[in-house]
Structure 1
């Protein structure tokens, strides 16, 4: 492998346990789960040692027993790193397994945004030959989780996620040990997922990846009383005025209700000359669609297209049945409609 350590750097409900599973499918690679960011305490201790050594006149006078900082000059930040590394590796690998790579995933980096750069630099010292894999996910999917809703309001969450992503993107710009992957790359098995395996230095094993993806990860859900489930099938229609469009994956699987919320992205081509609205309809009823919601990740994907800055959409309270599809259109100023998606409900027992 190209690295001796791999750290998954992300936030809650990003799909980090799934990424953990994919990395653990590599022979000789051990990626543990989250640990309440216990290395941050080591970072603070390291900082205290360096601050103590840098305190004025500690270098010479602190050897005197009458000095208030007696012995401060004997503190050794390099020895601390060596000792801390042994401590961390013993905690992660108490059985002393013979490994090619070790690490863990952590979701609490958003709690230390103001010190994130310094903290990542410390982790780069602490872990042997480390790689950082930055994991992101569509913000609507992340914020739909009750885990986030219990902690802060949506605006604060959006701001923190965006700030984290912008910083980690900046941090990794000139580094060859930082790789960015999105949740959608994993579940859709995109080329970027293959590049991640190339990045860590192992061949892409399609069978192993598909096996991991077939296994539920993270917390188990409570059993449902109903034995009938519903799954949405999405058919996308290519239109010449559209540069990029997709429906989010997460809300479309294992549905237990026919009242649904659908979200996604529609980016008109920069030179389309079109403006208008999105409309969702079942043929009898039309549903209001909120469109042109801030989309920072899509903006990064298409930086030259101003339409990518506000490209997300969301439509709630859709009533869908097995015999009636939902169509989502773009309607321009002249009331011309362009079909983008056809959503069908499939029922299984």
Structure 2
């Protein structure tokens, strides 16, 4: 009887061991579809080639899989400086137009002071203001489009990165964390893009328009209303960031601890309750989890770098326009074009707020991905 029981246990052990072999052979890279992420990385590499030819994100991902870091800080800063310089050069035409119109406005006012009939000079000044309005509002609309497109691009990348990253998180054993972040990542990204496109950017644009009207006409006083709209935009962004990051901080840590305890319990139960092959099964799962942790770290770090760049590039475009308007206002003030300089400063204030909105959005996405990685790492550490 004992001999038959021993033979049965050996047969069961062989069957279970044969079942473990595919688990040992199947690497996380073969279990996770990285094609969508790799296609996106290839597109990013093509778009950044004129500014950062020495940086290749597909190579970065491959090197991170091997535990290497191939991206230098100096390379990134050099590329960003080159990008910002090109944006400043692209805005020289805008600066020249504003300076020429400011000089004409100053000459018009000088001529008007020496004439008894000021009607013609006031009409010419009104035409100049109208041209400036058109140029500035067109520039603002283009810049607002850059901000909206930047947020949409970040959202699109989150939607591509989330399935890959969450699958790797599941393979590390963080089941509660993956179920929580699967909803939070995509939902928060979509909500942020919608809020920016339909609430924050329109409020900032309307504030800029009211600031122009208030400074140029001098008869319609709407500066307080413009300030109220800017405050509303700041409040909307701050409320969204506070709620999302607060939930991620509390729920992320909680799910990480719960997953870690569950994994440790399951490992102990496997070793203790499964006869003969319990240790082998536990070691096999440990091997898969370790590979998934390495892959998750590689994908997560690559995602963090790309999210940072997707936020920085449109922010630098906005900053270049902001600097151009600020420089124009500073040069126009001594040329008897004080009102025009004040009007440009109002638009500059709104663009600065838009720059902050894009930067904060990128920071929020960055912290969301970091929270997911930290929660899964906590579960892995506690196992």
Decide: shared fold, TM above 0.5: no
Structure 1 length-normalised TM: 0.24
**Higher helix fraction (1 or 2):** 2
Structure 2 length-normalised TM: 0.23
State the structure with more CA Rg.
2
Q: Which has the higher contact order (CA 8 A, sep 6+)?
A: 2
